[in-house]
Structure 1
Amino acid sequence: MSLIEIIRQAVSSLAANKLRSWLTLMGVAVGVFSIIAVMTTIDALDRSVESGLASLGANTFQIQKYPATVFGSGHRRNIYVNRQDITWREAQAFRKTMEQKARTIGFIISSQANQAKSGDRTTNPDVVLTGGDEHFAASNGFDVKIGRNLTPNDIRSAKNTAILGSDLAEALFPASDSPIAKQVRIGGEVYTVSGVFTKKGAAFGQSQDNFMLIPITRYISHVNEKSSLGITVEAWSQKEYARTLDHAIGAMRLARGLGVREENDFEIRTNESLVESFRDIKRSISIGAFIISFMALLTAGVGIMNIMLVSVTERTREIGIRKSIGAPKSSILRQFLYEALLLSLAGGLIGAAAGAGAGNIVAINLQLPPVIPILWVAVSMAVCSAIGVAFGLFPAWKAANLDPVEALRGK
C-alpha cells in the first residue's frame, strides 16, 4: 500500500469508532491546551514588557524599600517587611547629597484600592492615590495633557491640588466636561484638579492611568505619614548612568546611617531588574506548565496505546486477510502506527487551537496584545508526534507480528 492509501485506511478505521477516537484524542488535547494557553498569556505579557518599562523614564532608576518581586520563603519576605521605611527626612538628605550628580531626583509614595468621587460619579475602589513632587511626570514618563504640572510651591505648601490620570479623568468627568478646577473626593479629603496626564496605556496587564497625583507633602501630612517613600533618580545621560547609580547607593547608605560592614537595607529598581524579575516568573511558570502538560500527555499516550491494542484485537481477521494476500509486516506496522500518530496529532491541533484562543482571551482582558505562540505550537506538535509513535509502536508491532493462520481463525 502507498503512503496515501495507508493514511486513508487509518482515517477510515478511526472514523469507524468515533466516540472512542474522540475520547482518546481529547486526552491529548487537554495536555496541549494547558501548555499553549499558559504560554500564550506569558508571551503576550512578554511583549508588553517594553511598554511596561516606560513606567521608568530613560536613564532612570528608583530606590525603594521592597524589591520589584519577592520570591522565597516567609523568612525572606520578613527581611523586607522588617526594614525601616524610607522617610521624608532620609529622602531630603539623599537629595541634598545627590542634587549635583543627577538631572532630577523625584519622590513618590502611593496607596492602592482607593475610591474617588466627584459630584454624583463614583469610581470602583481601584484608584491609586500617589504622592509626588514636581519631578514625578518627567521621572515616570508622563506628560500633562491639559492644565499644569505640580510646582515647587505646591510641594512646599502641601496644597490640596491634584492631577488625574486619563482613565480616572474619563471615569469622573464626561468628555464634554473639563475636570480643571473641579473637586474630587478621595480618602475623606477633597482636592482641586489642576491638570490631567496624557494617556500612557497598560503595562503588565495593569492600567497606568487610573491614579491621582497629589503633592507628596500633602500625602504625608493628610493621608499616611508612616508609608515608605520611593526615590526616582534620572542620570544626566546613559553614559553617566552607572556612575550615577553608584553615587546614589552611597548617598542612600549615608542617609540611612549604614555602617561600612552593614548591607544595603533598600532596593534599586532598574529597567533591567524589572526584566529579570519577569523572566524569573516566566521561567518558573513555564517549567510548571510543561511538567503538568507532559504528565497529561503521558496519560493520553497510555490511552492511545489502549485504544490501539483494542483495535488490533477487533481487526485480527482483517490483519490475517491482508497478510494472506501478501501484505508485508512493514505495511501493517505503518498502518497502525499512522493511526496512533493521527490520533495524537489531531488531539494536539485541537488543544493548540483552543489553548491559543483561551490565552488570547486572557491577554485581551488584561489589555495585552494577542499573540500566536508559534514556537510552543511547534514544540507541542513534536511532542504529540513522539507520544503517538512511542505509545503506538507496541500495538503496531503486535499487529505486524500476528500469525496469519491464527489471525484468520479470529483468535
Structure 2
Amino acid sequence: MLVVLSRINEYLLMAWQALRAHKLRSFLTTLGIFIGVSTIITIFTTIQGLNEYVYGQLSNIGANTVYVQKFPWVIKGDFWKYRNRKNITYKEYQALKKRCTLADYISPQVFSLKRVGYKGEKYDNIFIMGSNEEYKETANAYPEVGRFLTELDVRNNHRVVVLGAELADKLFKNESPLSKRITIGSDKYRVIGILERKGSFFGQSMDNYAIVPIGSFRRVYGGHRGMRIALTSVQPDRLEDLKEQIRGILRQVRKNKPGADDDFAINQQDMLSDLYKQLTSTLYAIVFVIAFISLLVGGIGIMNIMMVSVTERTREIGIRKAIGATRRNILSQFLIEAVIIASIGGFGGIVVGYTAGLLILAQMDLTIGVSLLSIIVGFGFSTVVGVLAGFFPAYRASRLNPIDSLRYE
C-alpha cells in the first residue's frame, strides 16, 4: 500500500513539474475544460435555485386543490376557442356544492379591483375577493388575528372583511384593525380578521388583498361576474376521481353535447409543475450540447498537447524504461498528467461557474446553498475527459521502444 502511494506521489510530482515547465501551453489546454465545466455549473446552479423558488411558489397553490375556471393555465391551440367560452357561474358552484361528494371543501371565488380606505388613507387597485367560509381550507389561508368568515356571515351577506397582512399594515400601521370599519369602493365593511402572512407568488404579493362574503360582493358589484371554483380533497389519491366527478356535473349543468369538448377548465398544480419541468428539460439539453462541445474541444486539446509532450520527452521515457520503469509506470505517469490538466480546468470551472450562478440568482433575489452535486458533476466531467483524452498519448508513450527512444534527437 505504501509503495503504491509513494508511486502515485512520484507521478503527481513529475506531472506537476512537466506542467510548470510549459505554463502557457498548460493554461491554453485547460481553457476548453474550464469553459465547459463553468457553463455546466453556472446553468446547473441557476436552475437549482430556480427549482427551489418555483416549487416553493407552486406549493402555495395547494397540491390537493383543483380550480374550475374558464381558461386553462396552459393554453394549447386556438386562444379564441377558450375566449368564447361562457363564464363559470354561481349556479355551477351551487350544483357542485350540492352534488360533488368527493370534495371536502368548496369555495367560489370572484374578484374585483377597488379603492380601499381608512381615516384618509386610500389605496387604489386593491384585490377584493368574494368567497365563503371554506376559502381558508381551499387556499390554506387562516387568520392570525381575529376570525375568518363564518357560514352565518355568508348566508346573511354581512358587511365584514378579512384583510391580508400587508393591506392591514398599510391601513392601520400601529393601530389594531379588529372591529374597525374600512371603505371598499363606496361601501363600509367591518374588519373581523387578519390573515397569516404568505409572502409573494412569482413577485405578486399574496398579502395585499381583502376577502368579503360572496353574497355581499355579488349584491354590491353584480351577480353576473365570472368566477373560479376551488375544490379540495383531503385525500390526494381521490384527486383524479374528484376531477372526473366535477367534469360530469359541469358537462350536465352547462349542457355540453356528448362527444363535444369541455367548455371549462379544471386546473391543478401539476399542470404548472409539468410545464416547468418541460422548460428546464429543454434548457438542460441545450446546456448539455454546449458543454459537450466545449469538453470535446478541451479533450482534443489535452490529447494533442499530451502527444506533443510524449514526443518531446521521448528520451526521458527511454531513460526511465532503461532503469526499470514498466509500461504501466509510463502509462500511469502520462495519464495522471492528463487528469491533472483536466482537473485544474474543472476546479476553475466549478469556482467560476458557481460564482456566476450565485450572481445570476442574486439579481433575481434568490439564494441557494452549496450544492455537493454541482461539485461532483464538475469534477466528474473533467476527470472523465482527462482520462479519455490522455489515454491514447499515455498508451503510446508506454509502448515506445527504449532503445529507439534513447536514440531520439
| TM-score normalized with structure 2 length | 0.75
Does residue 7 (structure 1) correspond to residue 8 (structure 2)? The answer is no
1:362-411 deviation per Cα after TM superposition (whole angstroms, max 9, x unaligned): 55665666244434543443332221122122332343345556655664
1:247 to 245, 248, 256: 245
Does residue 209 (structure 1) correspond to residue 206 (structure 2)? The answer is yes
Q: For residues 192-203 of structure 1, what are the structure 2 equivalents within 5 Å?
A: 194=191, 195-201=193-199
In structure 2, the residue matched to 1:394 is 392
SS at match of 1:247: helix
SS at match of 2:198: coil
Contact 1:58 1:234 in 2 (8 A): no
Contact 2:40 2:288 in 1 (8 A): yes
In structure 2, the residue matched to 1:262 is 260
Contact 2:66 2:268 in 1 (8 A): yes
Does residue 137 (structure 1) correspond to residue 136 (structure 2)? The answer is yes
SS at match of 2:84: coil
Does residue 305 (structure 1) correspond to residue 310 (structure 2)? The answer is no
Q: Give me the whole-angstrom Cα distance separating, in 1, the residues matched to 2:269 and 2:343.
A: 41
Between 192-201 and 150-159, the greater mean CA deviation after superposition: 150-159
* CA spacing shift, 1:283–1:80, aligned 2, 3 Å: farther
* CA spacing shift, 1:349–1:175, aligned 2, 3 Å: farther
Q: Give me the whole-angstrom Cα distance separating, in 2, the residues matched to 1:344 and 1:227.
A: 64
Q: Give me the whole-angstrom Cα distance separating, in 1, the residues matched to 2:336 and 2:116.
A: 63
* CA spacing shift, 1:20–1:10, aligned 2, 3 Å: same
Does residue 106 (structure 1) correspond to residue 107 (structure 2)? The answer is yes
Contact 2:68 2:266 in 1 (8 A): yes
Q: Give me the whole-angstrom Cα distance separating, in 2, the residues matched to 1:84 and 1:261.
A: 19
Between 23-32 and 292-301, the greater mean CA deviation after superposition: 23-32
SS at match of 1:176: coil
Q: Give me the whole-angstrom Cα distance separating, in 1, the residues matched to 2:307 and 2:122.
A: 65
What's the CA shift for 1:55?
2.3
Q: Give me the whole-angstrom Cα distance separating, in 2, the residues matched to 1:42 and 1:346.
A: 25
In structure 2, the residue matched to 1:38 is 43
Contact 2:339 2:383 in 1 (8 A): yes
* CA spacing shift, 1:164–1:77, aligned 2, 3 Å: farther
Contact 1:321 1:404 in 2 (8 A): yes
SS at match of 2:144: strand
Gaps of 5+ in 2: 1-5
Contact 2:85 2:264 in 1 (8 A): no
What's the CA shift for 1:325?
3.7
Q: Give me the whole-angstrom Cα distance separating, in 1, the residues matched to 2:399 and 2:183.
A: 82
Q: Percent identity?
A: 29
SS at match of 1:264: coil
What's the CA shift for 1:9?
0.9
Amino acid in structure 1 at the alignment position of 2:143 = V
In structure 2, the residue matched to 1:322 is 320
Larger Rg belongs to: 2
Q: CA RMSD in A?
A: 4.6
Contact 2:89 2:224 in 1 (8 A): no
In structure 2, the residue matched to 1:78 is 78
Does residue 337 (structure 1) correspond to residue 342 (structure 2)? The answer is no
* CA spacing shift, 1:177–1:5, aligned 2, 3 Å: farther
Equivalenced residue count is 396
SS at match of 2:89: helix
Q: Give me the whole-angstrom Cα distance separating, in 2, the residues matched to 1:182 and 1:26.
A: 68
Amino acid in structure 1 at the alignment position of 2:209 = M
* CA spacing shift, 1:341–1:60, aligned 2, 3 Å: same
Contact 1:108 1:133 in 2 (8 A): yes
What's the CA shift for 1:28?
1.6
1:188-234 deviation per Cα after TM superposition (whole angstroms, max 9, x unaligned): 9999794532122456x656535423557898999999986332112
| TM-score normalized with structure 1 length | 0.74
1:35-61 deviation per Cα after TM superposition (whole angstroms, max 9, x unaligned): 233333434454567644542457421
In structure 2, the residue matched to 1:73 is none
Gaps of 5+ in 1: 71-75
Contact 1:54 1:140 in 2 (8 A): no
* CA spacing shift, 1:259–1:117, aligned 2, 3 Å: same
What's the CA shift for 1:347?
2.2
Contact 1:106 1:133 in 2 (8 A): yes
Q: For residues 92-131 of structure 1, what are the structure 2 equivalents within 5 Å?
A: 92-100=90-98, 101=101, 102-108=103-109, 129=127, 131=129
* CA spacing shift, 1:111–1:299, aligned 2, 3 Å: farther
Q: Give me the whole-angstrom Cα distance separating, in 2, the residues matched to 1:179 and 1:329.
A: 84
SS at match of 1:258: coil
What's the CA shift for 1:130?
5.6
